[in-house]
Structure 1
Amino acid sequence: MKKIKKRDQEYIKQNNLKMILDIIKDKRPISRAEIVKIANMSPTSVSRIVGSLMDLGLVKETETYSNGVGRKAILLDLDLESVITIGVYINKHIINVGVVNFGGEILYKDKIDLNPKDIYPDILIKKACGLINDVIKNSKIDSSKVIGIGVSLPGIINSKNGEVIFSAPLNWKNIHIAQAIESELNIRTIVDNDVKLKALAESLYGVGKNSGKTALVNFGKGVGSALIINGEIFRGVTNIAGEIGHITIDPNGILCECGRRGCLQTFIVEDNLIEEANKVKKIVDIEEIFEEARMGEDWAVSILERAVTYMCVTINNIVCMYNPDTIVVSGSLVEAYPEILKEVEEKCKTFIWAPLRGTFKILYSELKSQSDIIGPSTLASNTFLSFDI
């Protein structure tokens, strides 16, 4: 019984440390008195926990302020350089690596472009490890402060054992990428789905910061979504929740990269829009379709209008399933052509199921491509940060 009681006490202590640290991260800089109100704890308990976080080097005292009554209060902030994580984003075109501090700020980043022969697992992992080493060296950080690496990539991921179960864009199956990187670099590594981690970054550091229930939808080379509830990723039983791009819209439709026909994303993804445009005119990239639409070409306008319609279908489905207070729209399609978001907002006014109209905000990603690095680095920080004291 004594051992059980000791474990319970340790669990409560660790949870309290994490809770107070999360409050400081979210509200920084903040006074002890404000923490007492938010945490609903006694001033003595808060002071003790803050002292422990300061002993760990995670929190420091900063400037003072006065509300005009009584003595000045000392504010608390993170020691931004106390914890460093590495964020890695991989898709079939690029490896993007960044060094991120404890406040979610990218200190240094670099990337390498890929060609199709590079995406074989052994080759790509070797390239990723080389780039990680280069970034750590070139950033001139204290490498002893690096507590972990987070890897973000498209596909079905078992984040518990670091395995890519299936990634259609990379054509990978059952690849233990986290273990491979960890063995090569001797740095603890975790991997997860790219859209889930974009949503995590946006909810903590972007436009979803003040939202209790944020749904992010990503439009680009694929279509995916993720839900963050009070700062936690909603995963489902096997970490596949949010794969809205593979909802079947037309069983006899276009063949999707997943091997099935008529998936929702086949009506929206850039490669399919380009392929459809080539039935009318030789088109190399999505920019040309937008240019033709701006010049009033009916075929280009029609392609983009249909894409907008299915983007609204996607948002409506997400809102019906999850009932979030915020929808964050992200991805290369809207980042490169933000004018399409105005069309989506306008069409959603009538397209969303009536009982749900006005219950949520549609916001544009604030972090944009930075979330590809901040998301996995945040996962690494959340996973590997130790509260041993």
Structure 2
Amino acid sequence: MENKYIISVDMGGTKMLASVINSNKGIISRAKISTDLDKTPNDYVKDIASLVKTLVDDVGLSNSQIVSVCLGVPGSVNPYTGHIGIAPNLGIKNFNIKNRLEKILPYKVLIENDVNLGALGIKHFGVGKNVKNLLAVFIGTGIGGGVIINGEIYRGSNFVAGEIGHMLVDKNGPKCGCGRKGCFEALASRTAIVNNIIKDVKKEKKKSLLEKQIKANERIKSKALLNAVLKGDKVVINRMKEAAQITGQVLSGIQNLMNFDMIVLGGGVIEAVGKFYLPLIEEEFYKHALYDSSKNLKIVQSKLGDDAAIYGGIALTKEFLGIAV
């Protein structure tokens, strides 16, 4: 009997990453291309089809071995119809990517919000394996959440459940990418942390190890924050502490409402500075969470990294096609 696989594609704002995977062998091959934000949705369709073909050819798979192609989309999607409502970082609006791809690929195409896919990956293949109710939180360029209830992803009435990054924290706060002011994401994402550090250095004239990068208008990534923290950079440490406190407060409110068994933290910031950052989040969290709501809760770091959404494609295939790979 031939081995069956899926191809998971993570459609990121900087890169598109595709992997051939099944639950027995894990990821057996990867391919990626840079995301060109000047392209049209139809161009993205061609890029994805090309990535898929490259992987199939490289691994030497037959069409019958590919059960599905699963897309993780950073935006609002309807997984039943394959329609993308809006994916702002990709410039996609009101586009049915499933229909377009299935016209040029000989495989079933499934789509899901990328954070939901990450939550599914954590539930079925990561630290959430034996957990019934969990919240997956990804902190990076933005902040996203995926909700698992009774072992299943909770999508909400319009498939946008879990958008914790757009919970209101400060109505007079900075403008968020969504257009509103004071969202959680606008106050505690890596983008927010970096913006505050830049403000401290440029306007307040505070000294930081990141000054050269800031003056050169270089992009400051999570690893740069880690290096600054390890070297005792007070500006970076203070801004990260501030963001960690906000994160702990927001998560405590969510826990008081939902009473999860586990909160899993992932994303670029957590991967880079988790050892420093998680204790700060937990300290603030337990100041505000109700005792009975949080007494059995586990707050843990994801171990799957960027692969969480890739593994989530396996669970999505089982849900929509009834096929275990």
How is 1:161-180 mapped onto 2 (pairs within 5 angstroms)?
Answer: 161-180=81-100
Question: Is 2:18 aligned against 1:97?
Answer: yes
The one-character-per-residue Cα deviations of 1:300-336 (angstroms, maximum 9, x if unpaired) are 2221011101221232132122211111111111012
Which amino acid in structure 2 is aligned with residue 110 of structure 1? Answer: A
Match of 1:113 among 19, 30, 34: 34
Residue 21 of structure 1: aligned partner: none
Question: Is 2:134 aligned against 1:214?
Answer: yes
Residue 114 of structure 2: aligned partner: 194
Change (3 A) 1:96 1:374: same
Change (3 A) 1:151 1:173: same
Distance 2:234 2:23 in 1: 50
Instruction: Tell me the secondary structure at the aligned position of residue 306 of structure 2.
Output: helix
Q: Is the 8 A contact 1:125 1:181 kept in 2?
A: yes
How is 1:350-365 mapped onto 2 (pairs within 5 angstroms)?
Answer: 350-365=287-302
Shift of 1:278: 1.4
Match of 1:332 among 268, 283, 286: 268
Q: Is the 8 A contact 2:76 2:86 kept in 1?
A: yes
The one-character-per-residue Cα deviations of 1:12-52 (angstroms, maximum 9, x if unpaired) are xxxxxxxxxxxxxxxxxxxxxxxxxxxxxxxxxxxxxxxxx
Instruction: Give aligned pairs, total.
Output: 307
Distance 2:272 2:230 in 1: 15
Identity of aligned residues (%): 27
Residue 251 of structure 2: aligned partner: 315
Instruction: Tell me the secondary structure at the aligned position of residue 51 of structure 2.
Output: helix
Structure number with higher relative contact order (C-alpha < 8 Å, ≥ 6 residues apart): 2
Instruction: Tell me the secondary structure at the aligned position of residue 225 of structure 1.
Output: strand
Shift of 1:191: 0.7
Normalising by structure 1, report the TM-score: 0.74
Distance 2:305 2:50 in 1: 25
Q: Is the 8 A contact 1:96 1:109 kept in 2?
A: yes
Change (3 A) 1:386 1:296: closer
Residue 160 of structure 1: aligned partner: 80
Distance 1:123 1:165 in 2: 17
Shift of 1:141: 2.6
Distance 2:245 2:145 in 1: 17
Change (3 A) 1:171 1:190: same
Structure 1 portions without partners, runs of 5+: 1-56, 58-80
Distance 2:16 2:169 in 1: 32
Change (3 A) 1:369 1:95: same
Distance 2:137 2:32 in 1: 24
Structure 2 portions without partners, runs of 5+: 202-210
Question: Is 2:58 aligned against 1:138?
Answer: yes
Q: Is the 8 A contact 1:155 1:165 kept in 2?
A: yes
Instruction: Tell me the secondary structure at the aligned position of residue 20 of structure 2.
Output: strand
Between stretches 291-300 and 233-242, larger displacement belongs to: 291-300
Match of 1:348 among 279, 285, 291: 285
Q: Is the 8 A contact 2:259 2:294 kept in 1?
A: no
Q: Is the 8 A contact 2:128 2:134 kept in 1?
A: yes
Question: Is 2:165 aligned against 1:245?
Answer: yes
